[in-house]
């Protein structure tokens, strides 16, 4: 089923189900009910059943879900049943950290190359991965048939880099640059603005009473 026919909120919950199922398989738990899966994920049992129903019927009434079976189905739904080749563009502090984490903590992804425009960064290594010049990017994408890219570049360079990635064949981009990009309908870009995420989080650090008090002070 094409991913655009499924609500984005459902797609975002699938990796959470996958992470929980991975842990359950490691703990040798063969079967789990939607109620127990709800407790593990934080989503309601009804929400979980509804999400999975977009892709088929995977549970057994009165029994629940076979964890390894459901994990394998979700891997296929996402496209992680085979290691996905990924490249990283921008190997500064954020790009370096994200690349290192992805290599060591994500068994479903294969980071085949990292690129940067800074000559002082090119040639350095992220674990065993050598950072290549951006000029090699399109050639590597075409040769390795990569479809997914992680982009951690300055905002003013983001659109140009995205255009080159798309022209080379990239169809999904995780964009850390704080800028909205133009792209064709057959490409998917997910924007992650860490500054916005932090500012949104800060909202929850004070009580509603404190917020009302501050607003009242301004009006005096």
pLDDT digits (tens, 9 = 90+) for 6-27: 898 999 999 999 999 999 999 9
Q: Which residues contact 178 (CB under 8 A, 6 or more apart)?
A: 155, 193, 195, 196
- What pLDDT, in 10s, does the model give residues 75-90? 999 999 999 999 999 9
pTM, full prediction: 0.81
64 with 103, same domain? no
Inform me whether the pLDDT recorded for 119 exceeds 50. yes
48 with 123, same domain? no
90 with 177, same domain? yes
Q: Which residues contact 164 (CB under 8 A, 6 or more apart)?
A: 137, 138
121 with 40, same domain? no
69 with 89, same domain? no
Number of Cβ within a 10 Å radius of residue 76:
12
34 with 66: CB under 8 angstroms? no
Structural domains of the chain, count: 2
């Amino acid at each position: 089923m094409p991913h655009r026919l499924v609500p984005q909120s459902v797609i975002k919950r699938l990796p959470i189900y996958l992470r929980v199922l991975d842990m359950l398989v490691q703990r040798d738990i063969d079967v789990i009910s939607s109620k127990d899966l709800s407790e593990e994920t934080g989503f309601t049992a009804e929400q979980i059943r509804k999400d999975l129903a977009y892709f088929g019927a995977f549970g057994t009434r009165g029994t629940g879900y076979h964890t390894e079976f459901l994990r394998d189905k979700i891997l296929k739904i996402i496209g992680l049943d085979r290691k996905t080749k990924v490249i990283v563009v921008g190997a500064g502090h954020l790009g370096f950290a994200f690349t290192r984490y992805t290599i060591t903590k994500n068994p479903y992804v294969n980071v085949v190359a990292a690129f940067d425009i800074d000559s002082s960064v090119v040639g350095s290594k992220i674990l065993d991965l050598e950072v290549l010049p951006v000029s090699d990017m399109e050639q590597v994408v075409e040769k390795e048939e990569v479809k997914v890219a992680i982009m951690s570049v300055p905002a003013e360079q983001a659109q140009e880099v995205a255009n080159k990635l798309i022209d080379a064949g990239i169809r999904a981009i995780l964009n850390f640059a704080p800028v909205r990009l133009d792209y064709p309908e057959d490409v998917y870009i997910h924007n992650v603005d860490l500054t916005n995420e932090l500012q949104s989080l800060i909202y929850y650090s004070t009580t509603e009473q404190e917020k009302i008090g501050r607003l009242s002070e301004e009006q005096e």
